[in-house]
Each structure stands twice: as C-alpha cells, then as structure tokens.
Structure 1
Amino acid sequence: MRYRVRHSTHYRYSARVTSCYNLAYVLPRDTRRQKCLSSRVSVSPQPAITRTRSDYFGNQAYHFEIQRPHRELVISVESEIRVSHPDQGLNLDLGISYEQAVQQIRKDRSQQALNAREYLLDSPMIAASEELAQYAHQSFAPDKSLRSCVADLTSRIFSDFTYDPDFTTIATPLAEVLEHRRGVCQDFAHLQIGCLRAVGIPAKYVSGYIETLPAPGEEKLVGADATHAWIAYYCPDEGWVEFDPTNDTPAHTQHIVTAFGRDYFDVTPVKGVIFGGGDHPQLSVSVDVARLEEAAP
C-alpha cells in the first residue's frame, strides 16, 4: 500500500516570539514493513538553520532555528510511504512461549538482544510498579505463546479503558490512567509498555499516523486522520512485533511509523524552546493520509 501523508502543525502566539529552537519527529522512518519514498518539510517563518540527523534510536530528527520575530509558526510535512503487510503470521497460538521468551531474553548475548534489553528499563514517562505487574499477569501464562499473551493484554486494555481526550494531558501520570481507566492512544501505549516491561518483555513506543476510513456512503474529510501511538514488543524468534491497544489490533498497512522511542518523551512530534510568545499559545494540527495508486508493473 502506498500513501501520501500531509501533516501540518500551526502555533499562534499571544505575544511576539523573538527566536525559537526546535526538534521535530515528523519524518517517517524506514522499518521492516515500511519504506519512506520521499519527505519534505517546510517551515514558516523561514528558518535560519535546519539540519536532519539520525538519532540514537534510528529516527530522523529534524532541527530548525528561527531567529526573527514572529507571532505564528507553521510546520508542514509531505511524505510518500510504501507500507507492506506485517510478515508475522496471524496464528496467535504459534511461536515461542512466554516463559521461553523471558529465558532467552535473559541469556541471549547477541547485539540485537542486548539492544532490546534497554527497553526493559524505566524511561522518563514509564516507571515499573507492582500495579502494572498485577494488571499484566492476568494475560501471561508460562506455557502460552508470547504473541497470544500480548494480544490478550491488548484486548483487555481496549475493553477495560475508555478513550477520553478530555481526561489526560501529556503530563498525566501513568498511575492515574491505571486508576481511572481513561486516556488516549499515548496513555494506552504507555500502559501496555509498562505492563510488558513489568513481566520481562522489552517494549517500545511507536509514534506515527493511522489512516481513518469514513463510514459507508460518506466522503473522507481532508485532515481528519490523526497522529497516533502504539507499541512494539521484542520476541527472540520474531524480532519487534507491533500491536495497537487503542484499536485492539496488530499494526497493519494503515499504521505508518514516524519514530520509535522508550516513550512519548523521546519522540514528541515537535518540541523546543521559544523566547517570548506570551501565555497560552494556540495549537492546531491537521493530518491527511491518502492512498495512492500503485504504478503498473
């Protein structure tokens, strides 16, 4: 499947910003199931300095500096991506068991396994807790396949928690999400990552986009797609496998990856420092994910 993604971020400030220094994770990355064919960023006002680099996690980090006064900032990105179906099978009962996976992760000294074990550690927004372990253990039996355990946890989060964009903010602690059982995709991804780490399975945060399809007979609204978050867990036999707890599904061709990190803090779409700007800047975000026709062979 081939997509064109247009992502616009618009800040309006109540007072003049004299200068700003920013880091954006808005460029889709290459993964095992995805290839970024092209990507272009435009910023208004014109930046004095721009630079793109590959960060520690292999993401494309876009830095820019604006050194002129402004009251608005617009970051627009247009990308073309080809996404293939995940190469893992759909049979949840096949594959390594949960107990075998934990043992192999502990013993394996390969570079891949050592890198994966970094995602067992606490991160800025996800800390180990007994509550997370207790919630996770209901889905994990020693002789059950790891994939079916993760799928069960995904389904339980989907069933037990209510999607509520008015309940949480970026700074809402994970303990509050677990207590009140409400949140958004970022919170549900953090929750599942915390649960997986608590039972010995490395897990990381996936930031990206998801294509939303209109109801039958209705036209798709431009800009109605969304930035999204889901998870990837490490399996010694399969590598990294992605699941989406907000939608109770494995990641598929409608999931487009921009960045991997330990949690949201590592891959915030846009963050930085501004000088001036007043109080309460207004932020609006528009995302449009459009399917493109594939060229004939």
Structure 2
Amino acid sequence: MFDFDAKQKFVSYEIVHQTTYSYEHKKRSSVMTVCMQPKATSWQFLDHYQLATTPESTIDIDVDPFGNTRHFFDIHRPHNRLTVTSNARVRSRFNQEDETVEHDDWDALEKLHTELEFWDFLLPTDLTRTKSDLDRWTDHQGGIDKSNPWLFLKSLEQRLSEVIRYRPGATSIDSTVDDLLRHHEGVCQDISQLMIAIARSKGIPARYVSGYLYVAPNATRRLVDNATHAWVECYLPSKGWCTFDPTNPQGAPETRVTVAYGRDYRDVPPIRGITFGEGEAVMDVSVMVFRQ
C-alpha cells in the first residue's frame, strides 16, 4: 500500500479495454487469463477496477511472480461470442521523474549481477535474444553517450525513436529483435524490446512494461495505436527503476498508466487462453482512455 500526499497533483483517467472474440462455430469451452488491471505504485493510485465477461463467468484473481495482478476465468457452455470488458479508474501523479543529478558509473552495475532479483531482467529471452553485435549497431547509429549508464540510456531512448520507424502491421507479437534490426520498423513492443536487449547487453537490468497511454486530441507526435502502449524500465543503483519510452520519448510520464512488468511481451499480454471447438475466430479490440 502506498501513501499519497494530499498536496500532490494528480491527473485522473478512466480506461475501458474491451476484447471480443467472434467464433465461426460455437465453442464448447473457453479458458482465459487476463492481465489488464493497472498497478498501485508510488506514483499511480488505483481507485476502481472491474472485469466482466459475456457470457458471465466466475473470475479468480492471483498475483504472478512479477507482482502483476491476473484474472482467470473459464466458461464451459456453448458460446459463439466472448466479450471481456476491463474498466479502471486511476490517478497518476505529476512530476514522477527523479531529477537528481547523481549518476552511477559502469562499475556500479557489477554488483547487480550477483543479486537474484535482477537475473530475470539481465538474461536474454526468445524475443530479445539476438545474433547481432549490439555494441557495433549502437556505435553505427551515432549520438549515443556512453560516458555513464544514465546518459547512455537517455540518449539511446531518443536515438531509437529517430532510427526505428513506427509502423503498425510491420511486425507480429512473435517478432524478435533481429526482425526489427532487419527492417527498422515496428511498434512500441518491438522498439521497447530492442532497448531492453541493448541495455541487458551492457549489464543494465531492464524490464518490459505494458500499459496504456493517454493521447491528447490535438497530439501531433508519433504515438501508438489503440491507446495500449509498452515501454521500458531500467535499474540503476543510485536511482532505482527508471522509465524510458523509446517510442515516445517526449511524452509526459503522467500520460502513461502502468499495468504489468515482465521480461518481454510474452510475460504480459493483455489476454491469452484456449478455446475448445472447431472453426476460426475473429478478435476485435477497443481501448479508450478518458482524462477526467
């Protein structure tokens, strides 16, 4: 539980995330896991959360090894459509970033490699493992400051937003870092996983963050589709976990709503599961983020 100073300034959001599966033939059963509940953190307060399904189901709740809240349900009667609706109200604090000027040197990261809590965020995964020489690749891009880990990450965040083209449909949920490096275009998931791979290759613990992004009606900068978003947190001894958004580095921190942490996308998809029955399925997703 986190305490909030009443004098602090917050922005409030309502988030409605609805996923509908339409089936060619009726399914006998569906078993699903949902990861859509925003976290309660030192900068984010969860005022309300509700998950509902049509057809109705009994929903169980658990917390995974990364501290994410997960909802589980199963439906064991014939259905030709399944709708999952997530509704959340959160408050996000302004001035979230640590503005201290203290910076670690590279040697300060060495001790983290022996601490168990960071191992998951230092080792490569199937999506972040690469055959490419990431040091050589970053050197080739230019404009990346390697004088200390903080400046390295800040300049890397900015440079990735410049050299990787944001293009929905260019990749899939199973695309790897190597796929992105071949084509230099993708979405927030891909760009975040590239930054994670580079950070880990330098010995910096890095984790994947899933969540939502509030997009102002008059926004002109490069943004994600559907208001779902992904970004990165890296651990530095003097600062703790720090946020980096290589897709949208100019975005204000309070416009992001954190849902889950993982090693990569596969740890935290919004919904996954299995159905029993024949025929194809069509999935329709609607995400709306309203500023209160």
Return closer, same or farther for 1:235/1:87 CA change in 2, 3 Å cut-off: same
Return closer, same or farther for 1:271/1:86 CA change in 2, 3 Å cut-off: farther
1:225 Cα deviation from its structure 2 partner: 4.8
**Comparing 147-156 and 183-192, the one that deviates more:** 147-156
Q: Per the alignment, in what secondary structure is the counterpart of residue 196 of structure 1?
A: helix
Distance 1:258 1:243 in 2: 15
Match of 1:36 in 2: 46
1:251 Cα deviation from its structure 2 partner: 6.1
Q: Per the alignment, in what secondary structure is the counterpart of residue 36 of structure 1?
A: strand
- 1:123 touches 1:262 (CA, 8 Å); kept in 2? yes
1:136 Cα deviation from its structure 2 partner: 4.0
Match of 1:213 among 193, 198, 216: 216
Alignment-mate amino acid for residue 73 of structure 1: L
1:149 Cα deviation from its structure 2 partner: 1.2
Q: Does 1:287 align with 2:287?
A: yes
Gaps of 5+ in 2: 1-10, 220-224
Return closer, same or farther for 1:190/1:215 CA change in 2, 3 Å cut-off: same
TM-score normalised per structure 2: 0.87
Mapping for residues 238-249 of structure 1, pairs under 5 Å: 238-249=239-250
Match of 1:158 among 148, 158, 161: 161
Cα deviations across residues 176-220 of structure 1 (Å, max 9, x unaligned)?
Answer: 11111010011011111011001110100000000001128xxxx
Distance 1:271 1:226 in 2: 19
Distance 1:194 1:133 in 2: 11
Q: Does 1:75 align with 2:84?
A: yes
Mapping for residues 50-89 of structure 1, pairs under 5 Å: 50-89=59-98
Match of 2:118 in 1: 116
Distance 2:87 2:248 in 1: 26
Alignment-mate amino acid for residue 286 of structure 2: S
1:88 Cα deviation from its structure 2 partner: 3.1
* Percentage identity across paired residues of the two chains: 31
Distance 2:47 2:190 in 1: 30
Distance 2:202 2:80 in 1: 48
1:3 Cα deviation from its structure 2 partner: 1.1
- 2:127 touches 2:175 (CA, 8 Å); kept in 1? no
Question: What is the RMSD computed on CA atoms of the aligned residues?
Answer: 2.0
Distance 1:202 1:9 in 2: 33
1:130 Cα deviation from its structure 2 partner: 4.1
Match of 2:191 in 1: 188
